[in-house]
Amino acid sequence: MPLSQTPEAEATANQSPATIGTLFSGAPRYRAVTPWGPIEASAMTFVAAFGPSMLAIPVVVLLGTMGLAGEIKQMSLASPVVLGVMMATQLLSIVLLWALAGRANMRPDTLQFRLPPLSIPGCIVAGLLIVVLTGLLEWGMHHVVGFDPFKETNVLSEGLRSQYWWGTLLVAVVLAPIWEELAFRGFWLTALAKTRLGIVGGGLMTNVVWTLMHLQYSPAGMASVFLAGLLLTWIMWRTSSIRACIVAHAIVNGVSVAFLAAMAPAT
């Protein structure tokens, strides 16, 4: 069932400033308004999420004919070729989502930045909350099922230890949070949340697909990703601020990258 508010509560939530307290008290600020229907928005989200990668295939083939096949096959972020392809696909996803959200001049509603955004301190608190809760989950899984976070992030570790460490940071901490949040907690979620699915059903659907995008992880790693997605959806529901989700996501990825750089064993 959709989470609903009385008109008075909704008006109060929409007029109140978005502070740290918005995360934990008062009426949720979220309101799903978009010209996109759920089916067409779902299709366009898949186009924006996976289309750039499909377009990259002929580029990769071309690069392979230029003697770079071995470097591409390794799929290492220590490779400038791989980094360049990843950056290009992420940027194209961002451009596509931004363009699609502009339908009927309703981009601020569709992407959830119509209201004043959550303050930067609030975004930091939101990000650290996700870091703590997912960290506790991963710590528990490490002791129960032997979850090894380093084994699943070799690609990142290689990139961080290369001369192209800055590109790895750009891909993981800047571009990934922007395009993933615009797509899954912004564009697509807004279209689903305005239906009978509401923010709960829409959030679960978008989070399942977002988690499946991380199939390179073990089941334990994907459980951590799923929890992070639930928390990001909760942040969106409380704040109606895409900035809050992007910054919180960037903080989570940044802490993960810093942890890998400091603690990952050399290979």
Residue 1's pLDDT is 37
Residue 217's pLDDT is 87
Residue 4's pLDDT is 42
Q: What is the pTM of this model?
A: 0.90
Nearest CA-CA partner of 251 in 154, 166, 161, 176: 176
Residue 59's pLDDT is 65
DSSP single-letter state for residue 108: H
Please write the tens of the pLDDT for every residue from 117-157: 999 999 999 999 999 999 999 999 989 988 888 777 777 88
Residue 46 belongs to domain spanning: 7-263
Residue 267's pLDDT is 59
Single-letter code of the amino acid located at 139: W
Instruction: Determine how many CB atoms are found less than 10 A away from the CB of residue 26.
Output: 14
Give the CA dihedral 132, 138, 141, 142, nearest 10 degrees: -120
Rounded to whole angstroms, the Cα distance separating 35 from 202 reads 16
Q: Helix, strand, or coil here: 213?
A: coil
Task: Provide long-range contacts, Cβ within 8 A and 24+ apart, for 119-123.
Answer: 119/17, 119/18, 119/19, 119/20, 120/247, 121/20, 122/18, 122/19, 122/20, 122/22, 122/23, 122/239, 122/244, 123/241, 123/243, 123/244, 123/247, 123/248, 123/251
Q: Assess if residue 253 is contained within a domain.
A: yes
Residue 3's pLDDT is 44
Rounded to whole angstroms, the Cα distance separating 130 from 247 reads 12
Listed as ranges, residues in the chain with pLDDT below 50 are: 1-9, 11-12, 69, 73
Q: Assess if residue 2 is contained within a domain.
A: no
Q: Assess if residue 197 is contained within a domain.
A: yes
The count of domains in the chain is 1
Residue 97's pLDDT is 97
Please write the tens of the pLDDT for every residue from 71-80: 554 567 777 8
